[in-house]
Amino acid sequence: MPIGTPSLSVVLPVRNAEHYLGATLRSVRGNLRDQPTGDIELVVIDDGSDDATPDVIAEAEAQLPGLRVITHDHAHGLADARNVGLAAAQGRFVTYLDGDDWLAPGYLPRLVEAIDGLGCDFVRVDHVQVTGSQRTTHWAPQGRRDAVLDPRDGILPANRRSMVDYPYAWAGVYRRSVGDVLQFPSGLHTAEDRPWIWRLHRELSSYAVVSLAGLFYRRLVAQSLTQTGDARQLHFFDAYDHVLRGVAADRDADLLMPKAAQQFVALLGHHLTLLGRFEPVLARRFRARALTSLAAIPPGVLAGITVRGERASALRRLIPRDSPLRRGLRP
């Protein structure tokens, strides 16, 4: 290992995060307090902010030794910003952080301790979701903890929540030497973590889940893309084009495709329940993309999908009466 190589790189893409970024950076500083200087580096990518975000970053530079800042003149999107940060990272391991979230004291050193001790390609952790004043721990959907596992075994079953249904890039730490598999599909502004998590579980050799919930994920932030009804929401289909193509080419395609299709259709149903946030023209484009994507899934796979409740009702309004998917749409 080269002298001075950090143990961990924290990649933090931000855009127009002036209201939350100060708290985020203070939480990182709290994680560096008892660590050797330079052992944890922070790489901030300012992805075309046009608010006071650059001022918040500049104020933090004097307080965060080793902070590196990369500035984009215009927004490249979260996937490309993360890739830029990944390319700049120098640590043995890498983790991600968003500009409106924060970390518990001691969280980053414990991430390094976990992956160093287990010796695997990546480690996934739990997290805390914050909605207003309410905090709820969300557990990674793997009951076996602190054991090195085969990532492919974390994909199935098709009809229950599994590790590919827990895509959050910031909920884990990754060995940087695994290379390009850690990159996100370029150009995606939303759902970029869906093909990314599938690729990790299909292509890497080992992973583990540890009981560590030290990241606080702030939900329902107005600037978040999950709350925005513009054309970037169509990137959901581009993301699943990546997922479905990758699974179709996989050596276990027949085994994995029902899971990928089930996940896509269930999430599609969720998006359809929210179409009211779209302008009419965009809503029509969304429905058209949905029908095109569904038509590309083999009828036999569609026939095995089950969706219930409000999502099923939304799908039923979209798909033709003779679609094999209809038999699995239940109240």
Residue 4: pLDDT band with limits 50, 70, 90: confident
pLDDT reading at 225 higher than 60: no
Nearest to 15 by CA among 81, 96, 87, 102: 81
Please report the pLDDT score of residue 23 as a whole number: 96
Chain centroid to CA 10: how far? 15
Domain spanning 8-225, CATH architecture: Alpha-Beta Complex (3.90)
SS (HEC) of 167-215: CCCCCEEEEHHHHHHHCCCCCCCCCCHHHHHHHHHHHCCCEEEECCCCE
Tell me the helix, strand and coil percentages in the chain, rounded to 5: 45, 15, 40
**pTM for the structure as a whole:** 0.94
Question: Which residue type does 59 have?
Answer: E
Alpha carbons 79 and 57: distance in angstroms, whole number:
21
Residues 238, 289 contacting (CB under 8 angstroms)? no
**All structural domains of the chain with their residue ranges:** 8-225, 229-330
Q: Tell me the per-residue pLDDT of 233-285, one tens digit each, with 9 for 90 and over.
A: 999 999 999 999 999 999 999 999 999 999 999 999 999 999 998 999 999 99
Distance separating the N- and C-terminal Cα atoms of the chain: 57
Structure tokens at 284: 């029509």
